Structure 1
């Protein structure tokens, strides 16, 4: 395990966190209910803070953090905008966020299972794993309520 290997793994996680932040911001834009707008805004802020921590860890390890989200995420946000235009905005936002959350949790799990991840990076990602699980349960509840 080298810092370069760890930084590659963390940059993949960072890209997904940036996507998640952008997704939550877009969901906040298209949601109709003020409570959903606030919730999605808070989740975006949380993801932004996680991304900052990962970015800082990459720098501490001597790497260069990637600051772009994925092309796939940009297409997903465009799809969310189109879908919101033709259906209930709250449901569209919740569905998009749910898909994004599942992808983010999988990204974290894959990173944590990778033997090339340094102990300090593993500790950083584990610190956020509980929050990601709780957010997944919250989104499930929102789906049931909507």
Structure 2
């Protein structure tokens, strides 16, 4: 990349995308309805694809991408596991991914505000912002369906 700061920024986004994929996988496990399980599984696959694209962007510039999610996300996954043990249902799954999606959108916005990112990285992240917003709206609809 153009500098270590841009690599750090993209690795931060990458870690959050990995965390998001793990979160969706867990949500698919705890959801009751097949339609919700399928939705969460598709979103996990989409997050993995986004992570792969960000990973490739980092490698194209000769840098090393992160290989797994954050320590904070590991703690969040443990919490989700405990929550799921107490409350295996659609509402718990939706609640878990909803907070994760908001965090991911914030990460993208913060990264795009940084001048250190090269244009190719900004274009990549901007291309995914629409998908993130659409996912947020879909999750809102799922939440309404469980109310």
Structural mapping, 1:18-37, within 5 Å: 18-37=18-37
Q: 1:54 maps to what in 2?
A: 54
| Unpaired stretches in structure 1, ≥5 consecutive residues | none
Give the distance between the partners of 1:7 and 1:70, measured in 2 at CA.
16
Answer yes or no: is the 8 Å Cα contact 1:21–1:48 preserved in 2: yes
- Aligned partners of 2:109, 2:100: CA distance in 1, in Å? 14
Alignment root-mean-square deviation, CA: 1.2
TM-score (norm 2): 0.95
Deviation at residue 39 of structure 1 after TM alignment: 0.3
User: Is the 2:5–2:116 contact (alpha carbons within 8 Å) kept by the matching residues of 1?
Assistant: yes
Quote the residue 2:121 is aligned against.
121
List aligned pairs for 1:1-146, cutoff 5 A.
Answer: 2-146=2-146
In structure 2, the gaps of 5 or more residues are: none
8 Å CA contact retained: 2:18, 2:47: yes
Q: Matches of 2:116 and 2:65 in 1, distance apart?
A: 18
Query: How many equivalent residue pairs?
Result: 146
Bigger mean CA deviation after superposition, 124-133 or 4-13: 4-13
**Structure 1 residue 123 displacement after superposition:** 0.3
- Alpha-carbon shift at residue 112 of structure 1 (Å): 0.3
1:88: how far off? 4.9
